[in-house]
DNA sequence: TGTATAATGATAATGGTTATCATTCCACCC
DNA sequence: GGGTGGAATGATAACCATTATCATTATACA
């Protein structure tokens, strides 16, 4: 399961650098298609396959952070401390949060279940403040 | 985002009953293809499109529980109390756990961020006890 | 400067899921 | 009991995010 062989990144090519710069210069959570389109708009078009490979390689190298959302993978800057996400199911807005206690309790329960945790994913679904106000 | 129009289930047909019975008679987390194959093996074959529609309808009716895992959606009995999951990235084994405190803290942080939480998903990734022992 | 290997990009393929549509089923009415 | 309209089915096509293929290009370095 979830077994993908990722060859280590050897070269930070101009394409990968462009992807990295784009992600590092924003607080957004980008999917591959958005990166592809934005780079095209900026006149430094990168092939969609290269975008996918670049994102995978950059994540593997720890230069960006990947999160598997509902149906697509998104990437964000890696220079933020660990956090989880709230996803508005109406407008798609992503809110970030971090909670020491929740993190600690996850570790505790993994230990208790004899499970060697290598990662986790916590996403809260619901309505952001804007959408909630709009719907009443 | 995540906006699917689900017509309410009107009839619990024999196909849907078969899907429901299958899921209710086990503790497994089934994906659509597994349901399809198992029902075929039992001689009560149900078309794959009908399986997908049935699973969606049964979930919508609250008769089964759906969880979006890594790359596919899985379904389990709804008559268990709420819990989250640990997924072994080597063998695919799914371990269940529930943690009052984590649930409560999620509610708290949502409130704090003015976010109306309608659901959440917590998955811990890692190695189950069996796979950890096997790999050393 | 040559060579081996990595990376690119166009494109095909994959795989899970949803849409289409002709057919069948079923609840309800007469 | 037969007719009818809406719901469900199932075969199949389409969709869509992602990965694989492969010929071409770039790059490190012997
Ligand atoms: Mn984030
Ligand atoms: Mn479960
Ligand atoms: Zn919103
Ligand atoms: Zn395992």
Rounded to the nearest integer, the mean pLDDT of chain A is: 92
Ligand approaching nearest to the C-alpha of A3: 4
Share of chain A above pLDDT 90, in %: 85
Q: Which structural domains are found in chain A, ordered by start?
A: 1-80 (1.10.10.10), 81-136 (3.30.1490.190)
Share of chain A above pLDDT 70, in %: 95
- Decide if B3 and A89 are in contact by the 8 Å CB cutoff: yes
pLDDT at B90: 86
Q: Would the pLDDT of B1 be above 70?
A: no
- If interface means Cβ-Cβ distance under 8 Å, which residues of chain B face chain A? 1-3, 68, 70-71, 86-92, 95, 97, 99, 101-102, 105-106, 109-110, 113-129, 132
Q: How far apart are CA A78 and CA B8, in angstroms?
A: 43
Contact A121, B123 (CB under 8 A): yes
Closest A-chain CA to B84: A122
Chain segment A67-120, per-residue pLDDT in tens? 998 889 999 999 999 999 999 988 889 999 999 999 999 999 999 999 999 999
Helix spans in chain B (H): 14-24, 32-41, 48-60, 100-112, 129-134
Q: Would the pLDDT of B41 be above 50?
A: yes
pLDDT at B7: 60
Q: Which residues of B touch A110 (CB under 8 A)?
A: 86, 124, 126
- C25 C1' to B1 CA distance, Å: 34
The C-alpha of B82 sits at a distance from chain A's nearest C-alpha, in angstroms, of 15
The whole-number average pLDDT for the span A15-40 is: 98
Burial class (CB in 10 A: 0-12, 13-18, 19+), A60: middle
- Decide if B116 and A101 are in contact by the 8 Å CB cutoff: no
Share of chain B above pLDDT 70, in %: 95
**Which nucleotides in chain D have some atom under 7 angstroms from a protein Cβ?**
7-13, 17-21, 26-28
Q: How far apart are CA A29 and CA A84, in angstroms?
A: 12
DSSP, collapsed to helix, strand or coil, labels residue B25 as coil
State both tokens at B74.
């899985």
Least confident of A13-22, A86-95, B1-10: B1-10
pLDDT at A5: 46
- Decide if B114 and A97 are in contact by the 8 Å CB cutoff: no
């Amino acid at each position: 399961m979830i077994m993908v062989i990722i060859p280590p990144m050897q070269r930070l090519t101009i394409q990968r650098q462009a992807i990295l710069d784009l992600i590092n210069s924003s607080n957004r959570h980008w999917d591959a298609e958005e990166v592809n389109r934005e780079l095209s708009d900026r006149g430094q078009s990168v092939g969609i396959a290269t975008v996918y490979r670049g994102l995978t390689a950059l994540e593997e190298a720890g230069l960006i952070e990947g999160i598997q959302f509902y149906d697509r993978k998104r990437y964000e800057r890696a220079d933020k401390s660990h956090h989880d996400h709230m996803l508005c199911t109406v407008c798609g807005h992503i809110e970030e949060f971090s909670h020491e206690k929740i993190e600690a309790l996850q570790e505790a329960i993994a230990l208790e279940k004899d499970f060697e945790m290598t990662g986790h994913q916590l996403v809260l679904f619901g309505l952001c403040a804007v959408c909630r106000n709009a719907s009443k």
